[in-house]
Amino acid sequence: MKAILKYFILVLALTFFGTGGQAYGQATENHNSKITRNLEIFNEIYRALDLYYVDTLAADTVIRWAIDGMLMRVDPFTGYYPADDDDLRQMATGKYAGIGSYIRYHEKLDRVVISEPFANSPSLEAGLRAGDIIISVDGKDIKGMPTSKVSEMLRGETGTTMELCYRRPGTEGIHTAHITRRTIQVPSIPYYGIMDEGIGYINFNSFTTGCAREMRNALLQLTSQGARSLILDIRDNGGGAVNEAVDIVNLFLDKGIKVVYTKGKQPATNHEYFTTSDPVAPELPLVVLVNGGSASSSEILSGALQDMDRAVVMGTRTFGKGLVQALRDVPYRGELKVTTGRYYIPSGRCIQAHEYDHNGNIKAIPDSLQKPFYTRGGRRVMDGGGIQPDSVVTTDTLPTMVYDLANSYIFFDWVTDFVNRHPTIAAPGEFHVDDSTYADFCRYVREADFKYNRRSDEAMKFLRQIARMEGYLEEAEQEMKALEAKFAPDTAKDLERLRHHIVPYLESEIIGRYYMQKGVLRHTMPQDKVYRRAVDLLRNPDGYNAILKEGDKE
């Protein structure tokens, strides 16, 4: 127990004092004495808990509760990763050792199923397919296990072999596969290509180690294939390595430009990042697609290109993460990821959208407190609240039924059955769900007695309660009944009414089973509202240039 307590105290001390063991210059003696006093209190409380609590508690678990409880109140980005936790390494490198497949939980079966094997992965080479139901891993039945636990079992040391037993819908018996784990590289660029004449497209989903090199190669190939403009899609890209973001910005901006700089409590956390080489495509017209899932390094990339008037940013406002983290070693080969400062992009603005009171509370910075900054060409941009696009394009709201259906096992199972009945389908962009296929899907959904969360029902119940409380119910009863009749559940009617929403999801899921993620992107992008707007803008040079030269927006 003493070793565990010393370990915990070291983690806390490193958090507050750094690996050198010296207090911050700003810290007062009073502040340091408070730290010492509270660590002594914690030590005594845990000692008493260990001695007197009625049950024996696992030290690793209880101390981890304390660590996580402390860090979660600091901000959402500070966290502790012990030596046996692969999450940090995968976030940084995009690599892990395993079988190479996405998995998902199937609520009806209470089991995890294969949802998509990766291209050229051990799982695909072993013959696994989307829809396969995992029965056991190395002889251990996984029924009832959450996805995270099964994922843990599928991972392991590179070169080790595991036995996976599974059942395939439409076939008899249990199948067995012996799969040798190897290093899996999750691609940072799932797809790139020329989908509209002269317009290149790159889908970029993570800033992992080496992604700038991948981006450079993709850009060079697209320009060699005749791309005269580019759409860079970083929607839902949650960020990653700052230096990779700077190197990607450098593909489009001249050498010697300050892309981002950081400021923190300690002088050692202050850094400036400059472009260091000649650009690959300094004049290529560029549209960057963003949304609320574009965060951190995605905001450095889009914000720097916006501040330098180098690209039109299109979509919806980004997440607003203007904080930067660094890794600190802790005893027993663990890592502490700690927020060390804020970052600022070329105009001088910080785009952090939230304040943390270190009590676990998060408060958005109101628009009224945002300050104006200016791009190189004089356009007005704001700090706080993320990156506001130059061209705002919102996506259509997804009906509740479609969301629940697309995430249901019924949807997944029907597609699995479709694949079993159709060995091949047309190529991405050419395949379409026809009337007979959709009718078959609707019949399957009705027979499965699909239930979905009808927000209109909830709203009507709430409206009735309010009307009753305020004395209007009797007077409004007829109108209420008419509304309830209008909103009465009718699965068959809703499936037909929402067909134009449901079919794209069906096609994406089916395409993914045959052509994987690349095929899905190739198939869905031409139907994407934001992508279409970007194509239209790049085909209109006057409109594109007008956005980049409009000066003060206000």
Question: Which pTM does this prediction carry?
Answer: 0.87
Confidence of residue 364 (pLDDT cuts 50, 70, 90): confident
Confidence of residue 28 (pLDDT cuts 50, 70, 90): low
For 141, 195, 307, the CA distances from 541, given in Å and listed in that order, are 60, 19, 20
Bridge-based pairing of strands 312-315 and 286-290 is parallel
DSSP element (H, E) containing 202: strand 199-203
CATH of the domain spanning 191-394, picked from 3.40.50.920, 3.90.226.10, 2.40.30.60, 3.30.420.40: 3.90.226.10
**3-class secondary-structure state, position 341:** strand
Which residue type, as a one-letter code, is found at position 241?
A
| Lowest mean per-residue pLDDT among 149-153, 320-324, 459-463 | 459-463
Query: Does the CA dihedral 544-548-550-554 come out positive or negative?
Result: positive
Which residue type, as a one-letter code, is found at position 32?
N
pLDDT by residue (tens digit) across 477-509? 888 888 877 777 788 999 999 999 999 999 999
DSSP element (H, E) containing 364: strand 362-364
**CA torsion 361→297→374→233, rounded to 10°?**
-110
The answer to whether 435 and 508 have CB atoms below 8 angstroms apart is: no
The answer to whether 166 and 132 have CB atoms below 8 angstroms apart is: yes
Bridge-based pairing of strands 354-356 and 334-344 is unpaired
Token pair for 440: 């078959």
> Is CATH 2.40.37.10 the right assignment for the domain spanning 95-185?
no
Which residue type, as a one-letter code, is found at position 65?
W
Confidence of residue 554 (pLDDT cuts 50, 70, 90): very low
Question: Known catalytic residues?
Answer: 296, 307, 321
If you average pLDDT over residues 107-116, what whole number do you get? 95
The answer to whether 523 and 503 have CB atoms below 8 angstroms apart is: no
Residue 2 has pLDDT above 50, yes or no: no
Residue 365 has pLDDT above 90, yes or no: no
Burial of 414 (0-12, 13-18, 19+ CB in 10 A): buried
Per-residue pLDDT at 14 = 45
Which residue type, as a one-letter code, is found at position 87?
D
The answer to whether 208 and 241 have CB atoms below 8 angstroms apart is: yes
The answer to whether 324 and 318 have CB atoms below 8 angstroms apart is: no
Token pair for 308: 């330098």
DSSP element (H, E) containing 417: helix 409-421
Residue 20 has pLDDT above 60, yes or no: no
Token pair for 269: 């956390």
Q: Distance between CA 184 and CA 158 in Å, rounded?
A: 9
Q: How many CB atoms lie within 10 A of CB 398?
A: 12
Confidence of residue 553 (pLDDT cuts 50, 70, 90): very low
CB contact set of 26 (below 8 Å; sequence gap of 6+) = 265
Burial of 282 (0-12, 13-18, 19+ CB in 10 A): exposed
pLDDT by residue (tens digit) across 282-340? 999 999 999 999 999 999 999 999 999 999 999 999 999 999 999 999 999 999 999 99
Q: Distance between CA 411 and CA 513 in Å, rounded?
A: 13
Token pair for 310: 């180098």
Residue 440 has pLDDT above 60, yes or no: yes
More confident residue, 201 or 366: 201
Per-residue pLDDT at 524 = 95
Ranges of H-type helices in 200-293: 211-224, 242-249
Token pair for 380: 């007005």
Q: Distance between CA 457 and CA 487 in Å, rounded?
A: 7
Token pair for 32: 């340091």
Name the percent of the chain in helix, strand, coil, to the closest 5: 40, 20, 40
Q: Distance between CA 184 and CA 432 in Å, rounded?
A: 32
CB contact set of 246 (below 8 Å; sequence gap of 6+) = 259, 260, 273, 274, 275, 300
**DSSP state for residue 20 in the 8-state scheme:** T
